C-alpha cells in the first residue's frame, strides 16, 4: 500500500496560491513547495522560530528578555512542546498519511505560536491547521493560536465541535491536482515508499 504524505503546510500553500487575493508569485511558490524544493528561510520564518524558542525556554523554567514570549511561556506552563503525529486517512480512494507537529499540547488543548507583522481577529478561521491537528490529536478538543504582531499578544480559539473535518480539504486538493495535471508531480515527490 502506498501512502501519500500530506501536511497542513502543503495544504496552506495550495490554498494561498489559489486565493484570488494572493500575490502573483503565490502560485509559483506553491509549485516549489509541491516539488519539495528547499528555499532559504525568510527573515519572518527566522523570527517566528526565535519567538517560539523563547516561549519554549520560559516553559522549561528559563528566562527570556522577550516580554511577549514570557507571557505566552507562563500561559503554557506544564505544556509539552513539539509533539509529532501521523494518521492514515482514506480519501477519494487513496491513502494519505497526514503528518503534523503540534507546537505545544496541554490538558486537551493544542497551542500554536504565530509571529506575524499584522493581525486581525479571524485570521486563522480558514486555516487547515486546526482541522488537521484535531484529526491528528483526537484527545484534544480546543486549538488556540497564540499570535504576536510585534506590539501585542493575541489568542484565537477554535473548538473541535465547531471545526469542519480535514478530509474535504484533502479531497478538494486532490481534485485540483488532477484537474491541473499536477498529481503525477505530487505522487512522485510526496509518496512514502
Alpha helix segments (H runs only) across 61-106: 67-75
pLDDT per position as a tens digit, 59-112: 999 999 999 999 999 999 999 999 999 999 999 999 999 999 999 999 999 999
Which structural domain, as residue segments, surrounds residue 144?
A: 3-192
Q: What is the pLDDT of residue 179?
A: 97
| Residue 1 reports pLDDT greater than 70 | no
Q: How many angstroms separate the CA atoms of 120 and 122, rounded? A: 6
Per-residue pLDDT at 35 exceeds 70: yes
191, HSE (Cβ side, Cα atoms, 13 Å): 10
Confidence of residue 42 (pLDDT cuts 50, 70, 90): confident
Domain count, the chain: 1
pLDDT number for residue 25: 87
CATH number of the domain where residue 134 is located: 3.90.320.10
pTM score, whole prediction: 0.93
Residue 167 pLDDT > 60: yes
**What is the DSSP track for 137-154?**
-TT--EEEEEEE-SS-EE
Q: Mean pLDDT throughout 122-130?
A: 96
- Mean pLDDT along residues 134-162: 97
Nearest to 100 by CA among 191, 7, 1: 7
Mean pLDDT of the chain: 95
Amino acid at each position: 500500500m502506498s501512502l501519500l504524505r500530506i501536511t497542513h503546510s502543503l495544504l496552506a500553500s495550495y490554498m494561498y496560491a489559489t486565493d484570488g487575493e494572493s500575490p502573483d508569485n503565490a502560485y509559483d511558490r506553491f509549485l516549489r513547495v509541491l516539488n519539495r524544493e528547499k528555499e532559504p528561510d525568510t527573515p519572518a520564518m527566522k523570527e517566528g522560530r526565535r519567538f517560539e524558542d523563547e516561549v519554549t525556554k520560559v516553559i522549561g523554567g528559563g528566562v527570556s528578555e522577550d516580554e511577549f514570549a514570557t507571557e505566552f511561556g507562563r500561559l503554557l506552563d506544564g505544556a509539552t512542546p513539539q509533539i509529532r503525529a501521523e494518521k492514515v486517512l482514506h480519501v477519494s480512494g487513496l491513502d494519505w498519511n497526514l503528518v503534523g507537529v503540534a507546537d505545544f499540547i496541554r490538558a486537551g488543548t493544542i497551542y500554536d505560536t504565530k509571529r506575524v507583522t499584522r493581525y486581525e481577529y479571524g485570521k486563522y478561521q480558514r486555516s487547515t491547521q486546526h482541522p488537521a491537528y484535531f484529526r491528528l490529536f483526537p484527545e484534544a478538543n480546543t486549538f488556540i493560536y497564540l499570535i504576536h504582531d510585534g506590539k501585542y499578544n493575541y489568542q484565537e480559539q477554535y473548538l473541535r465541535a465547531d471545526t469542519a473535518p480535514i478530509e474535504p480539504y484533502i479531497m478538494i486538493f486532490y481534485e485540483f491536482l488532477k484537474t491541473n495535471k499536477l498529481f503525477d508531480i505530487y505522487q512522485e515527490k510526496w509518496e512514502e515508499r
